[in-house]
Structures are given as C-alpha cells and as structure tokens.
Chain A
Amino acid sequence: MKQKTQSKKISRRRFLETAAKAAVVASAGAAFGGICRVPFGERRAEAAPAGQTKGYIATREAMYYQKLDQRKVKCKLCPRGCVVGSNERGYCGVRENRNGTYYTLVYGNPCTINVDPLEKKPILHMNPGTRALSVATAGCNLNCKYCQNWQMAQSRPEETRNYELPPSGLVASAKAAGRKLIAFDFTEPVVFYEYVIDTAKLARKAGLKLAVCTAAYIEPEPLVELCKFVDMFKVDLKGIDDEFYDDVCAGRVGPVKLAIQILKREGVWFELVNLIVPTKNDQDSQIEALVKWVKEKVGTQVPLTFSRFEPMYQYKNLPPTSVETVERARSIAVQRGLKYVYLGNVPASSTGRNTYCPKCGKLLVQRLIYDVKQNKISKGKCPYCEAKIPGIWD
C-alpha cells in the first residue's frame, strides 16, 4: 500500500525569507567566530605572554653595508649581497633601507629566550653540563626546507612576539640568573649581527662566555671581526656541494666552507654539525666527500656531529633518517681518521654522544641525550693516558 505523502509547497516569498535568514545567521556566526578565533578555554590568538610584544622592533644603523646612488644600499654582511632600494628589505627580512640608510630591525628584540644545555645545540667540547642563556630574533638569510625553527627564522620581527632586551640587559639577565654563557641559537645570528657583536663585547667585559650557533653564511670581514669577541661557534655544514645547498637551502656551499676555514685560521674554537636528510645527502659518496673535506681543510681534531633529520617544514613528506644511516656516517668518518665523531637525535641508549679518548679509548664524558652523567676530563686531558682533548674545559 503506498503511503500518502503530503507534498509541501513552499511559496517563493517563504523560500526567499528563509534563505535571507539563513544568510544572516551564517554571517553573524562567521563574525562571532572571527571575534572568538580560538575554541573556548584557550588563549586568544592575539594575547601575548607577559613581557613579549607582538611586532616590537628595535633598530639601529646596520654594519657592513655600502651606500649607492638613488638611496640604494648594498648589504655586505652575507654572500647574498642584497642591493636594497629605499623602504625595502634584504632577503633576510630583518634589515631595511630607510631613505638610503640601512637599519637592522632586530637589535635587542629577541623572540625567544631559553636556558638550554650546551649538549642540545649540540656543543660537546665545551664545559659539559653547562646551561646557556640562549636567545634568538626573527629572521634568517637561508631558507632550509627542513628548518625546525622556521616559525621564527622565516618570519619578520613584526610577525613575532618579542622581548625588549638590549645587549646590556641580556648580559645583566645572564649574570642575574647565574649563567656563565650566552648563546645565540635557534635562528641565524648572522642576520642580527649587530646585536651579537655588541652583546659579545659586553659579555667579555662581564666575564661571561659567548657561543654562536650559525650556518656560517657570512662574509669574511664581519666574521673575522666577530671572532675577536666570540668564544666558540657551532657551524652547520649542511652539505658539501652547491647542488645540495641550492636545492635545500637556497644558498651556496662556497661561502660556508670559506667561513669554516677562517674560523680555523683565527684559532677560535668551533664544532661542526651535519644533518643527514634521506634522499638529499645520505649517500655514502656524499658523506665520504664531506669527511674528506673536513679532514683536509679543517683537521681530524674538530668535533663533527651527524644528526638525524625529523620531518619538518617543507620536508614533511620525507621519512626520518634511520639510526643505521647516521651510524654508518659515523663509521665512515672514524675510518677516515676523524677523532671526535658524534651522533645527534639518537635514542638515549646510543653511545654516539659519549666522548672517548682517541688514544686509549676510555670513556671520558657519558651523555644520556642532554644529561651529562659523568665527565672525567681533567684540565683538558684524559685522566688515564694524559692525551690532550681539544675544547674549552674551564
């Protein structure tokens, strides 16, 4: 038996009324959602933690630039050598030409402050167990597709929440916190060069040490000047050829290699880190070439860390580097004669972060990820065979 269905006839007026009401409700909902952008109970997106101001910019005239005609400037800080017109910025996004004068926009306005163990950088041959007051501003002069701090590095200072912390304030905060070391890390200290060097000068006067974690994409002259005031560098040697640097980092390897050789010539302590990315720089031939270059141009005593990549930023499609790959890289480096080869981002059970005496093989520094469990290095030497262990051991 067929069911009787009542067909409801809707008049055109009724239909239009209903549609209009629906549109009003939808737009009111969208407006309300715009006001309350985040779900109930969470902080509003615009609220900044106390002490940080969104978009706070602190400026001073930049160093290392040349004035050109028509109020243009040529930046001489990094190999990009940006020629910047008035009211424009360089590639890094944190240096701006204002009417023919070049300014840094990241002088004393860090977007992150943290106290981190040196082992996290990783810096492994400098006073194990030390925690550094680590600071960074927005900006970077590279664009590595695997960057784990891209939210800060690929941002402009008006996009980040920044503290007001001039160099003198930073040194004072480090002293007040009992920290003996300030580190510039997370983004790229080259782009906030003026902040780094002024802080370094004050830190030295105050008896504090200063470390810089950098990709070393910098011109020789500013680097040599920086070497006078910085105690140690951690350099990311990301690859060994231009193909990798161009494809992955939007840069070139030549300036980085030159910078590393300058550090060696200037006698300042530095360590190298190579992040191994599957399908990009994980071939044995590439690792061999990198190790060969390090051995010939830098020497066998420089600490070198092979670190595992985790999917991040623009490389979320790639798998994480396997532990076997970094162990293989380490094995290649050790066979070629490098004395201090470490592994980064490996499980706690791995001995890849431990320091062993290259002469007698005894365990000198035992690390469980970032925790130093034992440190037997005494006055910079192995306590068993008196072999000198390079590094900074206060």
Chain B
Amino acid sequence: MKARFAVITCLVAVGALAVPQAPAFSEEAPKGPLAVNAEVKADIHALNLINGLDLTDEQSRALLDSARDFQAKRHELEQRLLRAETEATPVLEDVRAILMTGDFPDQELEHQVGRHTGAPREMLLAFDKERVAFANQAVGALTPNQIALIDEYKPCVIVPKTRDTSRIGAPAGGNAARVAGHLARIREVPDRMYAAKEREIVDRMAEGIEKHHHNRIKVTDKDKAALAALLDRSRSLSAVDFEAQKLDLAREMMLYEDPDQEIYRNERNRANRVCRFLLSDSAIKAYEARLAAQAGS
C-alpha cells in the first residue's frame, strides 16, 4: 500500500512538472529583437546627451523630478486614451457590420464615430500644451550653453571623438569639412581624365546628394551645371587659395541644406527634444543611476 502510494505521488509530481507553465496573466509576450534594439537605442540616445551636458547633481535631481512627473502624466494619458479606444470599439464594430452589408452608416452613427475619434485628438492637443510646459520647466534648470547643446543635438550611437564640434552626438567631422575633403580629392584628378569623366563625376555627386536627403529632393540640371562650375572653380585655384577657400566652396556645394527642409524638422523643436531625451523613461534610469552612484561615493 505504501509503495503504491509512493508511486502515485511520484507520478503526480512528474506530471505537474511536465505540464508547461502557462504564462501569468500579466506577463507580456517576449519582445522581438527589433523592439529590444529600439529600446536600447533610445537609452543610448538619451545617455549620449545627458553625458554631454555635464549635469550637476542639482540639475540631475531637478530633471529627475520633472521626468517622473512627466512620466506620471504620460501614463495617465495612456490610460485615458485606452479607455477612449475601448469605448470606441463597439461603435466601430457597428460601422463595420453595416459596411459589410453594403449599406452606409446613418447620421446618428456618424456622430457617434465623430465623438469617439475626436475625444483622443482633444486629449492629445491638451497634453501637447502640458508637454511644452514640462519641457520649459526642465530647461529652466539648465545653463544657456546646455540649452544650445540640446538644440544642436543629433542622436547617434557612438559619439564622435572630436574637440572641434560644438555639438554632442553629432555625426563626425561636420558636413562642410567632409565635403571639402571630397573637393580636395576631385582636384587631384588629372585634367585629361577629369575632362573625359566630368559629366559622370557630376552625376555621381548629384546621386550622392539625393541619397543624403533620402531621395526627398531631386537635383535639377541647373543644379548640376552649378556643381560643374563650382568644381571647375575649385580645380582652377592654387593650392594656397584652395586651402583658404575650401570650406566656403564646400558650403556652396551643400545644396538643399536649408535647415527648414531638413528631414528632422520635428526634432528641431526644443520641447520635443527635451521630452524625448531628458524626460523619458531612459533618462529616469540614467539620473537614478548617477545619483545613486554619487550618494554611494
């Protein structure tokens, strides 16, 4: 009897272990690599800016407080948006059901749809004003130089190690210096070869410019003629004159570099930058770690 009981107990135990653990109700599905990398990159972008600002402890504390308040506001907004979306679901399902029959929603249903889609939009507009207020509050703790650095910040993973740039996290070299390097190389092309390949060189430069702007602009024939004239001018300069003028020539060559047309126009907005990099969840982790390390030391 005892032996039988022991066997049954063991079988039950093995059976319990063999049953795969059902995920807990509140557990999220594991993140894919894209989502994981996006999160890590967000942390890196915030850290590069925070490191470059050389914040004092006092500034870190002030920003941490602002970031936590902002985080609470964001979560509150997320909950409200979630509720609004949940309330909109039956209405949208009604619309779908009617459309499936080939019919059109009546006016009453149209009004309901308007109310439910309008509500989240109003919440977001109201939140935008609060967001700007948070950003202004955060910026109040910073010096003019730190604010200027935020305005110039270009997020990247590896910050270039150069002392000349006034930006932190900026792409290496500065665009004019890089373009001047291209000009210097084109100057070294022998005359005969340049004469034979001039059109090809200009076409490739135009392609490079379009690629630089993610194909959002098209280099016209007029621009190509201007590029060709500029290359001729730079090639005709003496070595000394080229050294003296190369940055200016490079800037002339940088077509379509009008800041208003830059792709990251939205990110030029200071409030967006402050909220994205200095008041984010990533930033909270960074401030907490720094302040804890300071307290520990």
Residue numbers of A with Cβ under 8 A of B are 49-52, 113-115, 131, 133, 163, 165, 169-170, 173-174, 176-179, 345, 347-351, 354, 363, 366, 368-371, 373
B105 interfacial by beta-carbon distance below 8 Å: no
A179 touches B146 (CB 8 A): no
Would you give the shortest CB distance from B209 to chain A, in whole angstroms?
24
Determine which residue in A131, A169, A345, A369 has the highest number of CB atoms from chain B within 10 A of its CB, and name it: A369
Q: Which residue of A lies closest to B168 (CB)?
A: A348
Chain B contacts for A178, CB-based, 8 A: 245, 248
Give 29 CB contacts A-B under 8 Å: A49-B239, A50-B187, A50-B239, A51-B240, A52-B239, A113-B240, A113-B243, A113-B244, A115-B247, A165-B240, A169-B240, A173-B244, A176-B244, A177-B241, A177-B245, A345-B163, A347-B54, A348-B52, A348-B145, A348-B167, A348-B168, A349-B143, A349-B146, A350-B145, A351-B143, A366-B144, A366-B148, A369-B163, A370-B166
Would you give the shortest CB distance from A181 to chain B, in whole angstroms?
12
Chain A contacts for B148, CB-based, 8 A: 366, 368, 373
- Tell me the bound Cα distance from A366 to B163 in angstroms: 18
B152 interfacial by beta-carbon distance below 8 Å: yes
Would you give the shortest CB distance from A369 to chain B, in whole angstroms?
5
Given A347-B52, A349-B54, A349-B146, check contact A177 B248 (CB 8 Å). yes
Chain A contacts for B239, CB-based, 8 A: 49-52, 163
Q: Mark interface residues in B181-210 (1 if CB within 8 Å of A CB, else 0).
A: 000000110000000000000000000000
Would you give the shortest CB distance from B132 to chain A, in whole angstroms?
22
Kindly identify which residue among B167, B238, B245 contacts A51, using a CB–CB cutoff of 8 Å: B238
Main secondary structure of the interface of A (DSSP, over half): loop
Q: Which residue of A lies closest to B143 (CB)?
A: A351
- Tell me the bound Cα distance from A99 to B277 in angstroms: 70
Chain A contacts for B164, CB-based, 8 A: 369-370
A349 touches B240 (CB 8 A): no
- Tell me the bound Cα distance from A178 to B247 in angstroms: 12
Would you give the shortest CB distance from A357 to chain B, in whole angstroms?
14
- Tell me the bound Cα distance from A115 to B248 in angstroms: 10
Kindly identify which residue among A177, A354, A368, A369 contacts B244, using a CB–CB cutoff of 8 Å: A177
Chain B contacts for A368, CB-based, 8 A: 145, 148-149, 152, 166-167
Kindly identify which residue among A170, A173, A363 contacts B144, using a CB–CB cutoff of 8 Å: A363
Determine which residue in B152, B166, B168, B242 has the highest number of CB atoms from chain A within 10 A of its CB, and name it: B166
Determine which residue in B149, B187, B240 has the highest number of CB atoms from chain A within 10 A of its CB, and name it: B240
3 pairs of A and B residues whose beta carbons are closest in the complex = A51-B239, A368-B166, A177-B244
Would you give the shortest CB distance from B174 to chain A, in whole angstroms?
10
A173 touches B166 (CB 8 A): no
Chain B contacts for A371, CB-based, 8 A: 166
Q: Which residue of B lies closest to A165 (CB)?
A: B240
Chain A contacts for B172, CB-based, 8 A: none
B240 touches A173 (CB 8 A): yes
A349 touches B52 (CB 8 A): yes
Would you give the shortest CB distance from A90 to chain B, in whole angstroms?
28
Q: Which residue of B lies closest to A112 (CB)?
A: B243
- Other contacts beyond A347-B52, A347-B54: 20, CB < 8 A: A50-B239, A51-B239, A51-B242, A52-B239, A113-B244, A115-B246, A133-B244, A165-B240, A173-B240, A173-B244, A177-B245, A178-B245, A348-B52, A354-B144, A363-B144, A366-B145, A369-B163, A369-B164, A370-B166, A371-B166
B145 touches A179 (CB 8 A): no
Would you give the shortest CB distance from A259 to chain B, in whole angstroms?
29
Would you give the shortest CB distance from B154 to chain A, in whole angstroms?
13
- Tell me the bound Cα distance from A49 to B146 in angstroms: 40
B291 interfacial by beta-carbon distance below 8 Å: no
Given A50-B188, A51-B238, A368-B145, check contact A348 B244 (CB 8 Å). no
Chain A contacts for B188, CB-based, 8 A: 50
- Tell me the bound Cα distance from A178 to B245 in angstroms: 8
Chain A contacts for B168, CB-based, 8 A: 348
Determine which residue in A114, A347, A354 has the highest number of CB atoms from chain B within 10 A of its CB, and name it: A347
Q: Mark interface residues in B30-56 (1 if CB within 8 Å of A CB, else 0).
A: 000000000000000000000011100
Q: Which residue of B lies closest to A348 (CB)?
A: B166
Within 8 A of A (CB), among B217-254: 238-248
Chain A contacts for B145, CB-based, 8 A: 348-351, 354, 366, 368
B9 interfacial by beta-carbon distance below 8 Å: no
Chain A contacts for B112, CB-based, 8 A: none
Chain A contacts for B246, CB-based, 8 A: 115
Would you give the shortest CB distance from A326 to chain B, in whole angstroms?
14
Would you give the shortest CB distance from B247 to chain A, in whole angstroms?
6
- Tell me the bound Cα distance from A368 to B143 in angstroms: 12
B244 touches A179 (CB 8 A): yes
Given A363-B144, A370-B166, check contact A349 B149 (CB 8 Å). yes
Chain B contacts for A114, CB-based, 8 A: 243
Chain A contacts for B163, CB-based, 8 A: 345, 369
- Tell me the bound Cα distance from A43 to B168 in angstroms: 32
Chain B contacts for A49, CB-based, 8 A: 239
B165 interfacial by beta-carbon distance below 8 Å: yes
Kindly identify which residue among B152, B238, B244 contacts A174, using a CB–CB cutoff of 8 Å: B244
Determine which residue in B52, B143, B167, B238 has the highest number of CB atoms from chain A within 10 A of its CB, and name it: B238
Would you give the shortest CB distance from A348 to chain B, in whole angstroms?
5
- Tell me the bound Cα distance from A165 to B244 in angstroms: 12
Chain A contacts for B240, CB-based, 8 A: 51, 113, 163, 165, 169-170, 173
